[in-house]
Structure 1
Amino acid sequence: MSREHWEKQASNWAAWARTPDFDAYWKYSPAFFELVPPPRGRTLEVGCGEGRVTRDLAKRGHRVVGVDATADLIRLARDADPANTYLRCDAAALPFADGSFDLAVFYNSLMADAGRFESSDANARFLVEGNYLGPRRWLQLPTVDRDGLSMDFSGWAYPMEAYFRALEGAGFMVQALREPAADDDQRWHRLPLFLMWRAVKIA
């Protein structure tokens, strides 16, 4: 979804994301956190949104900094969690020196719109360009209405190979991979909605 979408939907999204069992995060987060290494040093969450993953990482002992490009989402994250650090910045221009973090976490941040993670710096520490990831298609799901709240879900769907070519090109090795499947919706039995992995930089 575009940055403009999140700027318009920030408060609505925070209400949706924080209501138990509304969002898929409540169901899939255990599989996600199985892949997260134990706390060591500092952790960066890229695309932190309203801060739920950052908060849950902190509960598990991580020292976390959350970053997002949407000002209203950063404001909502800070309001809910003044103990952690939240910064507004684009993932293509992170204001940190090399080696500032021991772990980078992305939850639902790599299906971004074209331009969200692009950089003209060939030596950028974080570089995921649309054409670098190869062919893609726009995935638009029906609007979901629940207890007075409505949410639109959409994003870029990349072939699995594209993600791993990007990791390979950046010098990462995949240690583990998960594709948690829905058990309550037949549409997603053959095509899981979530692809999760843990990768480490090869020395």
Structure 2
Amino acid sequence: MQEGVPMTEGWPESAEAWVASLGERGDFGRVFVLDGPMLERVRGRGFARALDVGCGEGRFCRMLAELGIRAVGIDPTRALLEEARRRDPGGDYRSGRAEQLAFPDAAFDLVVSYLTLIDIPDAAAAIAEMTRVLRPGGTLLIANLNSFSTAGLPDSWQPDASGQLRYAIDNYLEERAIWVSWRGIRIRNWHRPLSTYMGLLIENGLTLKHFAEPAPHGGPTETADRYRRVPYFHIMEWEKPTA
């Protein structure tokens, strides 16, 4: 972790607004873009024990449980863990950080990072730890913001000379932390080039099995149309070799 970086990244202060923003179903990106293809990568695969890194209020853990997968959710934000336990009293939610996972080697056959890598200051340590706790032959399933999307933060959509909104991208190759705010939430995201993530995953010996930039299915038309202009997310599935 870089010296001087706050441990909270804004999450304790934003937890209440975050829970209110997601509601019971989730936001546009989760409900109409990511949930379907993420569950497709899990359903019917025989996964028994999963770790959800940065589980927040436990939404994806509950989805995994509906598929019969025993999931452990970890998160460093106490208020989000309390909400996860309130919504799912029988679930397993623990305090923890991705950079130092309190689990033995090869403890899980599925590790999920659902829109969490952008929140983690030390991505190298987090990916190494997620790989360590994954059993050989197991799957690391990642949903993340596209790097060209984070390269446009925090201002993103800006009018051009004719007044048409365009998505502004700059300093793509410069890794940096960016404070973003919406609906009473203020958190720090990290922009990294896609090559940084890919390089770290390859260095940890993982094999890419799936990559997708899913299109929206449903939702408000204006939001979906804007998303198709600049897809915010990608999904990656990586496998830990057996030998």
Confirm or deny a common fold (TM above 0.5). yes
Q: Which residue in the other structure is 1:31 paired with?
A: 37
What is the identity, as a one-letter code, of the residue corresponding to 1:27?
Answer: F
Runs of 5+ unmatched residues, structure 1: 128-133, 145-149
What is the identity, as a one-letter code, of the residue corresponding to 1:72?
Answer: A
What is the identity, as a one-letter code, of the residue corresponding to 2:198?
Answer: F
Runs of 5+ unmatched residues, structure 2: 1-5, 132-172
What SS does structure 1 have at the residue aligned with 2:208?
strand
| Contact in 2 for aligned 1:143/1:153 (Cα 8 Å) | no
Structure number with greater Rg is 2
Q: Which residue in the other structure is 1:157 paired with?
A: 191
| Contact in 2 for aligned 1:91/1:126 (Cα 8 Å) | yes
TM-score by length of 1: 0.79
1:168 aligns with 2:202: yes
How far apart, in 2, do the equivalents of 1:153 and 1:96 lie?
27
Q: How does 1:20-59 map to 2 (within 5 A)?
A: 20=25, 22-28=27-33, 29-36=35-42, 38-59=45-66
Question: How far is the alpha carbon of 1:63 from its aligned partner?
Answer: 0.5
TM-score by length of 2: 0.67
Q: How does 1:47-126 map to 2 (within 5 A)?
A: 47-115=54-122, 119=125, 125-126=129-130
Question: How far is the alpha carbon of 1:107 from its aligned partner?
Answer: 0.3
Percent of matched pairs sharing the same residue = 30
Residues 1:166 and 1:135: Cα distance change in structure 2 (over 3 Å): farther
How far apart, in 2, do the equivalents of 1:140 and 1:187 lie?
22
1:10 corresponds to which of 15, 21, 32: 15
Residues 1:139 and 1:180: Cα distance change in structure 2 (over 3 Å): farther
What SS does structure 2 have at the residue aligned with 1:24?
helix
What SS does structure 2 have at the residue aligned with 1:202?
coil
What SS does structure 2 have at the residue aligned with 1:45?
strand
Residues 1:21 and 1:95: Cα distance change in structure 2 (over 3 Å): closer
Question: How far is the alpha carbon of 1:21 from its aligned partner?
Answer: 5.8
Question: How far is the alpha carbon of 1:190 from its aligned partner?
Answer: 4.6
Question: How far is the alpha carbon of 1:25 from its aligned partner?
Answer: 1.0
Q: Which has the higher contact order (CA 8 A, sep 6+)?
A: 2
More strand, by proportion: 2
Question: How far is the alpha carbon of 1:157 from its aligned partner?
Answer: 2.3
| Contact in 1 for aligned 2:178/2:191 (Cα 8 Å) | yes
Residues 1:72 and 1:110: Cα distance change in structure 2 (over 3 Å): same
